[in-house]
Amino acid sequence: MTDMNAYRANWNYPTAIKAGAGRIKELPDHCKALGMKNPLLITDPGLANLPVVTDAVASCKAAGLACAVFSNIKGNPTGQNVMDGVAAFKAGQHDGVIAFGGGSGLDAAKAVALMVGQTGELWDYEDVGDNYLRVNVDAMAPVVAVPTTAGTGSEVGRVSVITDDTAHIKRLIFHARMVPAVVILDPEVTTGLPAKLTAATGMDALSHNLEAYCSPFYHPMATGVALEGMRLVKEYLPRAVKNGQDVEARMQMLVASTMGATAFQRGLGAMHALAHPLGALYDAHHGMLNAILMPYVLKANQSVIEERITALARYLNLPNPSFEAFLNWVLALREEVGIPHALSAIGIDDAQAQKVGEMAVADPSHGTNPIPFTAAQYSEIFKRAVVGLL
Ligand SMILES: [Zn+2]
């Protein structure tokens, strides 16, 4: 029996993090400490009626907080979802946000908390140029974040990924102050996640650490965080997929996920540059897309990242550490946790290959890929991933 007390900790990097089993109990206290009397809990519709959410709402009410739920959010949240959330916040005269859920719920909640204090339109705050200077920071609502998946790490991210369903693209809403004031990492709220989603979100966490690690951007602290994040995925993702009730594995995967998003202040790369357009065009699961794309992108980047991937293979204690050893480990991990080898397995064909390539070059993650691929090169990587030709 694991002693989960060994995993109980309070961290202030990159924000205030309350880690440990059962710490969801502290939710009302953290809301009050941020001055909330009437928080709006924003979550994914699939979670809204589950005990994990209804218990949290009940605990807030028992502690004297008024608390309502908003859950009208798509799997890839849209601009309309965000503005509906802003309307609900204003109508209920709320004074703070509890961001509760997977990436969709957290991203939507963070965007709502930003937008309740702004006079402009949502896309005025897209991560383009110095748009972030337009944000009225003092008017943003305070946020407590509770991730229920271990993947996006959105609980410590400075952006929300929101789909513009008019233009059919994903846009990033950015402000450094979008990092929630308090994060609760409680593995017990993630034990209900099915194995398939545990695998897909866990591979997303791996992709964040990996792409951040391979980025050419100068940020040695992020490099260190990424290395250890990947080691945690290696040790604990197979366990979390095999047995969803393994609280120790769930705890370590939550931390690996938070580390991935901490590390990707260093930037992401071609996996995400491709996953973002594919998510917008096919409404496919973000983590699943990154998981399938991972080996194809590694191969395409090989000439530039070979040395640092060999160092990574040494850190992960892989036999005969090399680029090949790491690639083979990724392939074996994907198989072990049930990720298909080709995009065709999730219903994606190459009919829009040219468009995907053009959208990938325009994606913000493209800028920190180790090799500045052209649209044609992205199309080629995509086509290989569709048919499974590594
Ligand atoms: Zn991701």
> Mind spelling out the 3-state secondary structure of 147-197?
ECCCCCCHHHCCEEEEEECCCCEEEEEECHHHCCCEEEECHHHCCCCCHHH
CA 91–ligand 1 middle distance (angstroms): 33
CA 278–ligand 1 middle distance (angstroms): 12
Name the residue with higher pLDDT: 280 or 326.
326
Euclidean distance between CA atoms 291 and 302, whole angstroms: 17
**CB-based contacts of 15, cutoff 8 Å, min separation 6:** 156, 179, 180, 181, 182, 183
State how far the alpha carbon of 100 is from the alpha carbons of 19, 72, 185, 189, 342, in Å: 15, 13, 11, 10, 32
Euclidean distance between CA atoms 250 and 243, whole angstroms: 9
204 band by pLDDT with thresholds 50, 70 and 90: very high
CA 201–ligand 1 middle distance (angstroms): 8
Cβ-based neighbour number of residue 356 at 10 Å: 24
Q: Is the pLDDT of residue 75 over 90?
A: no
CA 302–ligand 1 middle distance (angstroms): 21
CA 252–ligand 1 middle distance (angstroms): 18
pTM of model > 0.85: yes
pLDDT at 165: 87
pLDDT at 153: 96
CA 257–ligand 1 middle distance (angstroms): 10
76 band by pLDDT with thresholds 50, 70 and 90: confident
pLDDT at 52: 95
* Digit-coded pLDDT (tens) for 230-289: 999 999 999 999 999 999 999 999 999 999 999 998 999 999 999 999 998 998 999 999
CA 207–ligand 1 middle distance (angstroms): 7
Are 280 and 163 in contact by the 8 Å Cβ rule? The answer is yes
Q: What is the chain's alpha carbon radius of gyration, rounded to the nearest angstrom?
A: 20
pLDDT at 22: 97
**Beta-strand pair 16-19/9-11:** antiparallel
323 band by pLDDT with thresholds 50, 70 and 90: very high
CA 261–ligand 1 middle distance (angstroms): 9
Q: Is the pLDDT of residue 1 over 80?
A: no
CA 208–ligand 1 middle distance (angstroms): 6
Euclidean distance between CA atoms 266 and 269, whole angstroms: 10
Are 347 and 252 in contact by the 8 Å Cβ rule? The answer is no
Q: Is the pLDDT of residue 110 over 90?
A: yes
CA 347–ligand 1 middle distance (angstroms): 20
CA 202–ligand 1 middle distance (angstroms): 10
Q: Is the pLDDT of residue 155 over 80?
A: yes
pLDDT at 280: 86
CA 360–ligand 1 middle distance (angstroms): 14
CA 279–ligand 1 middle distance (angstroms): 11
pLDDT at 12: 87
170 band by pLDDT with thresholds 50, 70 and 90: confident
